[in-house]
Amino acid sequence: MDNATTEKVSCLIIGSGPAGYTAAIYAARANLKPLLYQGIQPGGQLTITTDVENYPGYPDGIKGPEMMVDFEKQAARMGTEIRFGVATKVDFTGPLHKVWFDDDKIIESPAIIIATGASAKWLGLESEQRLNGFGVSACAVCDGFFFRGKEVAIVGAGDTAAEEALYLSKLCTTVHMIVRRDEMRASKIMQDRVFKTPNIKIYWNTVTEEVIGENKTEAIRVKNVKTGESQRIAVDGFFVAIGHEPNSSIFKGWLDMDDAGYLITTPGSSKTSIPGVFAAGDVQDKTYRQAVTAAGSGCMAAIDAERYLGEKELA
């Protein structure tokens, strides 16, 4: 780090999902000459999504990776400089904020937009990763439509799992809900709704051992941890709803965040607890977590950054 080179830019964007690229498009059009670092997963979570059918403007749907290539091209055409690199350290003592990339490059900027996203938590099964996008998903709202009239399974026991199970129950014939303990963590009202839904079948004290299928999900094998008994459940879709983890660890100690690590922004804005630092997308949104809401918050962050720089005459 002692040999790191330093560069100053007007606006730095960290992350390259819908939030990061939309922020870049707006910042570039405002002549902020933004520099965007793509991070460890260029394109964000959508690059591991197959079909996207709920983003406006794509009447026939689009593959997630293709959509993010479109976003990147548009940001570049507007004048964004796009680089590959991972943020490893920050210093927000400001007013000129510093971010280290790959430990050997320091970018200084008065306006930083954090769009590092969140990562879905997975069970850690080889079969789960192999069939991700082929019947395995971490987002029922995104992918539930593809399983209309079919049987699916969902693993999880919190409010998100309950909410997604209820969402799937309106589309699917049967929702097999896999719960690791003998109780759910979800709020009482959410549990009551699940219990009252006839086509949600709950498997208590049960863990998933394997997702079965070659090129698509065909079934899951689960085991009751009390009896040791395994069984195969035929399903077309398998949803993992055990939570998301915001990619915010390098900002700990600098920015206000909640107990789960989501960055806290001033309601109705993208402003964080430090002036000149803004947050957009899933790193600060644990409620909606959709591409379209992430893009919208990226727009907000760029406008907030432009106004901040104008007020401070820093651009």
Q: Do both 82 and 110 map to the same domain?
A: yes
Q: Do both 263 and 221 map to the same domain?
A: no
Please tell me which residue, 103 or 250, carries the higher pLDDT value. Answer: 250
pLDDT at residue 32, as a whole number: 97
As a whole number of angstroms, the distance between CA 109 and CA 7 comes to 9
Instruction: Report pLDDT digits (tens) over 268-294.
Output: 999 999 999 999 999 999 888 899 999
pLDDT at residue 50, as a whole number: 67
Q: 216, 240, 264: which is the final residue of a domain?
A: 240
- Give me the chain's average pLDDT, please: 94
Q: Do both 31 and 136 map to the same domain?
A: no
* Domain interval for residue 305: 5-120+244-312
pLDDT at residue 191, as a whole number: 96
Residues identified as active-site: 139, 142-143
Look at the chain and report how many structural domains it folds into.
2
Q: Do both 234 and 94 map to the same domain?
A: no
Instruction: Report pLDDT digits (tens) over 216-243.
Output: 999 999 999 999 999 999 999 999 999 8
Question: What percentage of the chain has pLDDT greater than the value 90?
Answer: 83
Q: 224, 240, 256: which is the final residue of a domain?
A: 240
pLDDT at residue 112, as a whole number: 98
Q: Do both 264 and 228 map to the same domain?
A: no
Q: Do both 253 and 115 map to the same domain?
A: yes
Q: What is the pTM of this model?
A: 0.82
Q: 240, 271, 294: which is the final residue of a domain?
A: 240
Full DSSP string of the chain: -TT-EEEE-SEEEE--SHHHHHHHHHHHHTT---EEE--SSTTGGGGG--EE-SSTT-TT-EEHHHHHHHHHHHHHHTT-EEE---EEEEE--SSSEEEEETTTEEEEESEEEE---EEE-----HHHHHTBTTTEES-HHHHGGGGTTSEEEEE--SHHHHHHHHHHHTTSSEEEEE-SSSS--S-HHHHHHHHT-TTEEEETTEEEEEEE-SSS--EEEEEETTT--EEEEE-SEEEE-S-EEES-GGGTTTS-B-TT-PBP--TTS-B-SSTTEEE-GGGT-SS---HHHHHHHHHHHHHHHHHHHHHHT--
Q: Do both 285 and 194 map to the same domain?
A: no
As a whole number of angstroms, the distance between CA 243 and CA 223 comes to 21
Instruction: Report pLDDT digits (tens) over 131-189.
Output: 998 999 998 988 999 999 999 999 999 988 998 999 999 999 999 999 999 999 999 99
Q: Do both 188 and 49 map to the same domain?
A: no
- Encoded amino acid at 140, one letter: A
pLDDT at residue 74, as a whole number: 97
pLDDT at residue 229, as a whole number: 96
Q: Do both 113 and 135 map to the same domain?
A: no
Evaluate if residue 1 carries a pLDDT over 90.
no
pLDDT at residue 92, as a whole number: 97
End-to-end CA distance of the chain: 28
- Once rounded to an integer, what is the mean pLDDT over residues 93-102? 92
Q: Do both 181 and 278 map to the same domain?
A: no
Categorize the per-residue pLDDT at 49 as very low, low, confident or very high, splitting at 50, 70 and 90.
low
Evaluate if residue 48 carries a pLDDT over 90.
no
CATH code of residue 54: 3.50.50.60
- Once rounded to an integer, what is the mean pLDDT over residues 3-13? 94
As a whole number of angstroms, the distance between CA 28 and CA 299 comes to 11
Q: Do both 232 and 270 map to the same domain?
A: no
Categorize the per-residue pLDDT at 84 as very low, low, confident or very high, splitting at 50, 70 and 90.
very high
Q: Do both 112 and 9 map to the same domain?
A: yes
